[in-house]
Amino acid sequence: MLAPHAAARLLGPRLDARASSPVRTTLDGALQRMAAESLRRHLLAVRAEHVQDGAVLVVDNASGEVLAYVGGSGDLGSARHVDGIRARRQAGSTLKPFLYAEALDRRLLTAASLLEDTPLDLAVAGGLYRPQNYDEGFKGLVSVRTALASSLNVPAVRALDLVGEEVAVELLRRLGFEGVRESGDYYGPSMALGSADVSLWELVNAYRALAGGGTWSPLRLRADEAAGAARRVYSDRAAFLVSSILADRESRSLTFGLENPLATRFWTAVKTGTSKEMRDNWCVGYSRRYTVGVWVGNFGGEPMRNVSGVTGAAPVWTELMAWLHGAVPSAPPAAPAGVVAAPVAFPGAVEPGRIEWFLAGTEPPAAAPAIAGGHPRIIAPVSGTIIALDPDIPEGRERLVFEATDARESLRWVLDGDDLGPARELHVWRPVRGRHALALVDGHGRVVDRVSFDVRGVPRAAHAEAGR
């Protein structure tokens, strides 16, 4: 078992390429060997399902020290020199907790808010986006607790709509996801289901921020490396609520069943994720002391067969957590100040009544919680729209309408950096050729939603010349 300071040991005389002195790491030799062996054994168990590669990262929550770093599966792997911990892959459902935490922090949702898990068509630049759940079925009304714990896709897209795509992109950057470089409308609603590329290094540290009460700081692999600066990403209250949901075995059972590899004998919070066409399989979670992340897939990007988060990465995660806590307890965290417990009842037979955690002031005054309301967003023009000027309409007569839904009094239109006025009403704009960025901005200058569009057309003089 790991002693409190047993991590700072050498795994051998590894030399720095720039010097002749040995490099002292934070890795723990026993844990490193155990993690490598566990990954190898479980990959062999699913070898027939076209699975070759995997990676494991284990860190200490308090210090940020890396205790195990297994970048690949050795001679089982398809590319022995690829580092699976630093390589970026699609995140699948592992980004959902961060979106919900932001919605909880902004008091847009509570853990008891009801979201619709029903067919959803969203207009995007390429047409319609229709998110579906893993089992291709829908559950109707579900609480936020059930939606996140059971990893339902449509409610996550609705939560992203409440938070806003631009807000979500900035959030992921604050959590250290350096590969998220594009604007929110580039990723669109599929960002809720993991369309952004992330690394296991980044993902594990983002979950460590939840384990640490909402505070992010860099990981450390070298023993002589100074601790990096910390920054607050969430309130400790939002981090507690999300941790409570990810640790909820009963709420997880709608998708995973009560008996599944995610269940541990001690307190842990965990989330799985599977990317499109089963190309990437993740399991990341934390106890009071450690955060463990596992990725399984193929470095070449080939799909796996019949492998989900529960059957691929989760068994390795569970085995490592059990080993880490063989003699070390992991009790549930205490509720921080500003979090209260209150009874909640649901309409009809949506879900059984329960005692739920709330940010103080958001607990329901009545028996039934309300269905989550709308989030201000631009509905016209749709991002990615190409607007063609009609050469037969006299110069200066064409107009384009800007429209937002659920716009508050404080929101304003900002086009290419210029303030156009309040967004509560339709705004009529005379089109100008070129690429434009339209934003909804609140009273503090924060972008609530943003779209981009193009105005194209042959200049009038050229059109007249062509018609002769």
Of 210 and 76, the one with more pLDDT: 210
Query: How many other C-beta atoms lie within 10 A of the C-beta of residue 372?
Result: 20
Q: Please report the sign of the dihedral spanned by the C-alpha atoms of residue 59, residue 60, residue 63, residue 67.
A: negative
Compute the distance between CA of residue 346 and CA of residue 277 in angstroms, rounded to an integer. 36
End-to-end C-alpha distance for the chain, whole angstroms: 87
Lowest pLDDT segment from 257-266, 320-329, 363-372, 380-389:
363-372
Domain boundaries, the chain: 55-359, 377-466
- For strands 386-388 and 447-456, give the pairing: parallel
Of 239 and 348, the one with more pLDDT: 239
pLDDT digits (tens, 9 = 90+) for 428-441: 898 888 889 898 88
| Stretch 442-467: mean pLDDT | 66
Listed residue (58, 74, 78) closest to 66, CA to CA? 58
**Beta strand residue intervals within 50-90, DSSP E:** 53-60, 66-70, 88-90
Lowest pLDDT segment from 66-75, 97-106, 369-378:
369-378
Residue 159: what pLDDT? 93
Q: Residue 254 pLDDT > 90, yes or no?
A: no
Residue 468: what pLDDT? 37
- For strands 197-199 and 122-124, give the pairing: unpaired
3-state helix, strand, coil in the chain (%, to 5): 25, 25, 45
Q: Residue 195 pLDDT > 70, yes or no?
A: yes
pTM listed for this prediction: 0.76
Listed residue (151, 216, 213) closest to 177, CA to CA? 216
In this chain, the answer to whether the domains covering 55-359 and 377-466 adopt an identical fold is no
| Stretch 110-138: mean pLDDT | 78
The whole-chain average pLDDT of the chain stands at: 85
Lowest pLDDT segment from 105-109, 230-234, 244-248, 398-402:
398-402
pLDDT digits (tens, 9 = 90+) for 29-45: 999 999 999 999 999 98
Residue 309: what pLDDT? 57
Query: How many other C-beta atoms lie within 10 A of the C-beta of residue 81?
Result: 8
pLDDT band at 113 (very low <50, low <70, confident <90, very high): very high
Of 128 and 203, the one with more pLDDT: 203
Of 123 and 326, the one with more pLDDT: 326
| Stretch 55-66: mean pLDDT | 97
Burial code (b: 16+ CB inside 10 Å, e: under 16) for 188-205 equals: bbbbbbbbbbbbbbbbbb
Assign domain 55-359 to its CATH architecture: 3-Layer(aba) Sandwich (3.40)
Identify the residue whose tokens are 């607007």. 387
Of 58 and 259, the one with more pLDDT: 58
Query: Per-residue DSSP letters for 307-338?
Result: --TTTTTHHHHHHHHHHHTSSS--PPPPPPTT
H and E: helices and strands count for the chain: 11, 23
CATH topology of domain 377-466: Immunoglobulin-like (2.60.40)
The three-state (H, E, C) secondary structure of 369-394, written as one string = CCECCCCCEEEECCCCCEEECCCCCC
Listed residue (106, 126, 129) closest to 191, CA to CA? 129
